[in-house]
């Protein structure tokens, strides 16, 4: 035994512990801050992070997550927090945290410094394609903001349509053309996939091998057995071809789904152009829907976009983390890992329970829990669930519940939000010029529910305002429209608004209705002439004419190409199935031949025996 | 370069007479185990500690590790197949499962075909390699050492400036 060697080993172990004790905390803190800032798009700061490898604990004094929309504000921050992580999963590079307690949790807190974080440009410089939810958010935001700017009190019916459209620069034709180019590329990719796929060559090879097995010429059992083994190999090969073909089908069906979604937006593009033209001409659509959107759209949907953003973040991270899970890398010949149980089937990250207590920006005490945040729900078999709520002495209450479920084939998000009992005195119900009056008294209640399954969204917001009393000022405007509106709202002591956003039956629909829309519509209709409707019709015709048959052509092109691709796939599938049938048939024939040879051999042996013993 | 020269020099001295054949054979088989099995394995940490604390020849362990690392690249498919055979053997399933379910044994990664296959083959090889190496060292000292020292390569090595510097350093160091 080398004493020096023993001392050396002891010193090395001591140094490793010392180095990790000194440097891990600061390294870990900066690394977590950097990665989290990248993910958040704005600075994430952790103060006083400590990692104890002996107790397997992580604690920090303060955590701040900057709001990317306003870098002088935190989306939320926490005070002191401590969490335990499990030892054995850490050896498998898995972080499993059973329980975290966040005290002094605060939403929308102010920052002492700017939380701007410059995101480094990707090496490949490619911009990620916006996700489905991001597109929905952008569609809603653009529609609502367009409506919010609608002027109802300065309408002119005398419109020069040509010069109006010349200024306007219609966007739908270009968007449709570029969509068509995109689809052409996508479909030509599928054409070349079917042309270049090696499935056909493999099928030819399999066919050749099957044809080469001449059963009649096989006379010995060992040759039959060898041929059966060959055929079994062919069965596996055909099975793998079938999987390949199915993968192709899944991929093109996914592409078709994307194409359907994109094509579904064409009507929105055309309508946007038309709406922009009307707005430029200062010709609003005077109907209950438009009035309600103008009155309440911006207020309602700014919060709504926030809920969707949380869902979008959850979905993006779910797919990003799941994609990188257990990636196989083969450096040297790495062999194969055998699984004897699912004991170590942990996700990379799993926070089983977070207990939160704190307060909202509006000083409502909030408490609740978030459970099962994980990088791979199929491993935890649990969706992310959250349930937070609280109330204050003034009867205000808030509740947020929901579930992000990525266990099934289609990702599902559900968020429910309720905020009730808030005081409306001194506020305006709407930023619109139609309802510019402050409230003297009133209380509000808002309830929202968003359900998203894959690319289908179904959501509802209910906004109820009760006990309303408006302050019309000492010298209110004496314009006819304003007077009619004042008369209408002064008699209403409650205003209820319902907003529905869904794409369940096709393209995205945004509908808002309130109990005062009709009052406004009547007031406005009685003040504007029929000329407005005529001018609108002229603009609509002109917009349609300039867009031409692009939409119909594109739809026809899409249907035709997709039918062609499906036909190609059906041919391929039929070929694979035919080969499978041939292989099975050959196997049966070989089994039969084997039995025949065995019977012949038995018979010969029996005859020989009989001869020997003289029967 | 200096480090390599140091170990070549030590190895040559050890082969000549300094170390016992058992120490050299010990270094050889321990280096062989590390070389044949995937480097980043828990058992290799144990082997390295054994090399440090046991009186085996360090230079021979390094030489053996380098040689067998090269061999392992070629032999990995054999290890893999041997590993498959062991891990799929019906009578051993209970052992593998209980080892897999025990966290300590699981971090040894003996559920991996190459780790298990190469480790067991390396252990089996130790049985003939230890006495063979011992005999080899004795035979080397008797018949080959003198001739090796007279080869052009050795003369060239001894003639290099770096070797002279190293030798002077060793003498000064005592």
This model of the complex carries an ipTM of 0.79
The pLDDT-based confidence of B169 (bands split at 50, 70, 90) is low
Q: Which residue of A has its CA nearest to B58?
A: A5
Torsion angle, CA of A269/A274/A280/A284, rounded to 10 degrees?
A: -120
Q: Which of A1, A332, A344 sits opposite B54 (nearest CB)?
A: A1
pLDDT tens sequence across A531-580 = 677 777 878 888 888 887 888 888 898 899 889 888 888 888 888 888 88
* SS3 assignment for chain B: CHHHHHHHHHHHHHHHHHCCHHHHHHHHHHHHHHHHCCCCCHHHHHHHHHHHHCCCCHHHHHHHHHHHHHHHHHHHHHHHHHHHHHHHCHHHHHHHHHHHHCHHHHHCCCCEHHHHHHHHHHHHHHHHHHHHHHHHHHHHHHHHHHHHHHCHHHHHHHHCHHHHHHHHHHHHHC
What average pLDDT does range A466-483 have in this prediction?
79
The residues spanned by each domain of chain A are 13-107, 131-161+287-322+408-527, 169-254+556-613
Whether the predicted pLDDT of A57 surpasses 70: yes
Evaluate if residue A306 carries a pLDDT over 80: no
Neighbours of A494 (CB within 10 A): 13
**Interface-testing mutation among A335, A343, A345, A346, with chain B (most B C-beta atoms within 10 A):** A335
Using a CB–CB cutoff of 8 Å, tell me whether A344 touches chain B: yes
A437 forms bridges with which residues in the sheet?
Answer: none
| pLDDT value of position A9 | 82
Give pLDDT, residue A328.
47
Nearest to B113 among A5, A336, A339 (CB): A336
CB contact under 8 A, A334 and B112: yes
- Note the pLDDT of residue A575: 86
Which of B:11-30 have CB within 8 Å of A? none
Q: What is the pLDDT of residue A445?
A: 92
Q: Is pLDDT at A127 greater than 50 in this prediction?
A: no
The A residues from 72 to 91 touching B (CB cutoff 8 Å) are: 88, 91
- Tell me: pLDDT of B15 over 90: no
- pLDDT, one tens digit per residue, over A73-118 is 888 888 888 888 787 787 777 778 888 888 888 877 888 888 888 8
User: For B77, which residue in chain A has the nearest alpha carbon?
Assistant: A333
- If you average pLDDT over residues A577-584, what whole number do you get? 86
First-to-last CA distance in chain B?
21
- Cβ of B101 within 8 Å of Cβ of A341? The answer is yes
Mean pLDDT of A34-38: 79
Question: Quick one: pLDDT band at residue A124, thresholds 50, 70, 90?
Answer: very low
Which of B62, B50, B36 shows the shortest CA–CA distance to B119?
Answer: B36
The answer on pLDDT for A320 being more than 80 is: no
d(CA A37, CA A43): 5
CA A360 to chain CA mean position, Å: 27
Q: Given this model, what pLDDT does residue B17 score? A: 64
Give start and end residues of each alpha helix (H) in A500-549.
517-525, 530-547
Q: What band does A287 get if pLDDT is binned at 50, 70 and 90?
A: confident
Q: How far is B159 from chain A (nearest CA, A)?
A: 33
pLDDT band at A330 (very low <50, low <70, confident <90, very high): very low
Mutation for testing the A interface, residue in B61, B111, B115, B117 having most A CBs under 10 Å: B111
Q: Is the pLDDT of residue A25 over 80?
A: no
Mean pLDDT in residue range B1-23: 72
Least confident among A198-207, A271-280, A433-442, B64-73: A271-280
pLDDT of residue B166: 65
pLDDT band for position A123 (cuts 50, 70, 90): very low
If pLDDT is split at 50, 70 and 90, which confidence band does B29 have? very high
Cβ contact (<8 Å) for A335 and B107? no
| Pick among A333, A336, A341, A345 to test the B interface (most B CBs inside 10 A) | A333
Residue of B53, B55, B51 whose CA lies nearest to B23: B55
**Contact call for B53 and A88, based on CB within 8 A:** no
A7 reaches B (C-beta below 8 A)? no
User: What's residue A161's pLDDT?
Assistant: 75
Average the pLDDT over A374-403 and give the result: 89
- Residue A213 is predicted with a pLDDT of 83
Among B54, B76, B84, beta carbon nearest to A332: B76
| B112/A5 CB distance under 8 A | no
**Structure confidence by residue, pLDDT tens digits, A131-168:** 677 777 777 777 777 666 666 666 666 667 777 777 77
pLDDT at A126: 46
Task: For residue B48, give the chain A residue with the closest CA.
Answer: A9
Q: Residue A404 in contact with residue A308, Cβ under 8 Å?
A: no
Judged against a pLDDT cut of 80, whether residue A452 lies above it is answered with yes
A336 touches chain B (CB under 8 A): yes
Of A28-32, A72-76, A108-112, B92-96, least confident by mean pLDDT is: A28-32
Is there a contact between A333 and B100 if contact means CB atoms under 8 Å apart? no
Average pLDDT, chain A: 81
Task: Report the candidate in A451, A379, A372, A352 with the shortest Cα–Cα distance to residue A411.
Answer: A451
To the nearest whole Å, the CA of A583 is away from the closest chain B CA by: 29
Could you give the CA distance from residue A476 to residue A481 in angstroms, rounded to a whole number?
Answer: 12
Q: Which residues of A touch B77 (CB under 8 A)?
A: 333
Q: What is the pTM of this model?
A: 0.58
Burial class from Cβ neighbours inside 10 Å (0-12, 13-18, 19+) for residue A341 reads exposed
Shortest CA gap A339–chain B (Å): 7
**Of residues A428 and B71, more confidently modeled:** B71
User: What pLDDT is stored for residue B2 in this prediction?
Assistant: 61
Q: What's the confidence (pLDDT) of residue A389?
A: 92
The reported pLDDT for the residue numbered B121 is 95
């Amino acid at each position: 035994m080398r004493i020096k060697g023993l001392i050396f080993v002891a010193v090395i172990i001591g140094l490793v512990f010392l180095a990790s004790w000194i440097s891990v905390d600061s390294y870990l803190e900066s690394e977590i801050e950097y990665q989290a800032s990248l993910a958040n798009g704005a600075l994430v700061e952790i103060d006083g992070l400590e990692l104890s490898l002996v107790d397997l604990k992580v604690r920090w004094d303060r955590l701040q997550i900057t709001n990317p929309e306003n870098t002088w504000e935190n989306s939320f921050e926490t005070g002191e927090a401590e969490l335990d992580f499990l030892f054995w999963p850490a050896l498998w590079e898995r972080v499993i945290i059973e329980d975290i307690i966040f005290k002094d949790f605060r939403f929308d807190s102010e920052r002492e410094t700017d939380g701007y974080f410059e995101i480094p440009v990707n090496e490949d410089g490619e911009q990620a394609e916006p996700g489905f939810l991001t597109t929905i958010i952008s569609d809603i935001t653009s529609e609502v903001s367009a409506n919010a700017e609608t002027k109802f009190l300065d309408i002119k019916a005398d419109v020069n349509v040509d010069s109006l459209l010349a200024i306007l620069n219609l966007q739908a034709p270009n968007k449709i053309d570029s969509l068509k180019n995109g689809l052409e590329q996508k479909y030509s990719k599928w054409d070349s996939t079917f042309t270049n796929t090696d499935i056909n060559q493999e099928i030819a090879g399999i066919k050749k091998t099957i044809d080469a097995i001449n059963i009649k010429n096989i006379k010995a059992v060992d040759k039959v057995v060898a041929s059966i083994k060959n055929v079994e190999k062919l069965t596996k090969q055909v099975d793998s071809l079938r999987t390949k073909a199915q993968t192709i089908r899944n991929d093109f069906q996914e592409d078709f789904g994307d194409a359907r979604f994109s094509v579904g937006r064409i009507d929105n593009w055309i309508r946007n152009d038309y709406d922009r033209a009307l707005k430029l001409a200062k010709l609003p659509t005077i109907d209950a829907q438009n009035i309600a959107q103008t009155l309440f759209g911006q207020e309602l949907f700014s919060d709504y976009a926030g809920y969707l953003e949380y869902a979008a973040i959850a979905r993006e991270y779910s797919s990003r983390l799941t994609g990188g899970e257990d990636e196989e890398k083969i450096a040297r010949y790495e062999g194969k890992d055998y699984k004897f149980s699912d004991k170590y089937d942990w996700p990379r990250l799993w926070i089983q329970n977070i207990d939160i207590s704190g307060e909202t920006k509006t000083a409502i005490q909030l408490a609740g829990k978030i459970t099962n945040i994980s990088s791979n729900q199929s491993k935890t078999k649990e969706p992310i669930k959250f349930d937070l709520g609280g109330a204050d002495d003034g009867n205000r209450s808030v509740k947020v519940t929901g579930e992000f479920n990525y266990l099934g084939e289609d990702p599902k998000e559900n968020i429910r939000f309720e905020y009730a009992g808030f005081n409306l005195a001194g506020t305006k119900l709407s930023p619109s010029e139609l309802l510019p009056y402050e409230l003297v008294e009133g209380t509000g209640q808002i309830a929202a529910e968003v359900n998203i399954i894959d690319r289908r969204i179904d959501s509802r917001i209910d906004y109820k305002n009760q006990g309303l009393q408006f302050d019309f000022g000492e010298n209110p405007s004496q314009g006819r429209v304003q007077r009619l509106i004042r008369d209408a709202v002064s008699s209403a002591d409650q205003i209820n608004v319902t907003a529905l956003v869904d794409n369940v039956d096709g393209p995205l629909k945004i509908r808002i209705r309130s109990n005062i829309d009709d009052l406004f519509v009547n007031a406005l209709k009685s003040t504007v002439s029929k000329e407005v409707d005529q001018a609108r019709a002229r603009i609509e015709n002109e917009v349609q004419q300039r867009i031409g048959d692009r939409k119909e052509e594109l739809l026809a092109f899409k249907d035709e190409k997709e039918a062609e691709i499906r036909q190609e796939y059906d041919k391929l599938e039929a070929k694979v199935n035919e080969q499978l049938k041939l292989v099975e048939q050959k196997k049966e024939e070989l089994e039969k031949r084997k039995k025949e040879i065995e019977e012949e051999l038995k018979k010969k042996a029996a005859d020989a025996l009989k001869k020997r013993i003289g029967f | 370069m200096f480090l390599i020269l140091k170990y070549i020099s030590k190895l040559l001295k050890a082969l000549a007479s300094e170390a016992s054949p058992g120490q050299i054979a010990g270094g050889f088989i321990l280096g062989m185990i590390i070389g044949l099995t995937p480097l980043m394995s828990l058992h290799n940490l144990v082997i390295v500690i054994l090399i440090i604390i046991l009186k085996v020849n360090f230079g021979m362990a390094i030489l053996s590790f380098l040689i067998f690392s090269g061999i392992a690249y070629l032999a990995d498919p054999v290890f893999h197949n041997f590993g498959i055979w062991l891990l799929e053997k019906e009578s051993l399933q209970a052992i593998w499962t209980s080892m897999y379910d025990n966290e300590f044994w699981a971090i040894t990664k003996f559920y991996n075909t190459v780790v298990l296959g190469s480790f067991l083959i390396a252990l089996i090889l130790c049985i003939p390699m230890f006495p063979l190496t011992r005999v080899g060292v004795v035979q080397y000292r008797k018949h080959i050492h003198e001739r090796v020292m007279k080869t052009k390569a050795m003369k060239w090595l001894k003639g290099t400036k770096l070797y002279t510097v190293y030798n002077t350093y060793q003498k000064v160091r005592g």
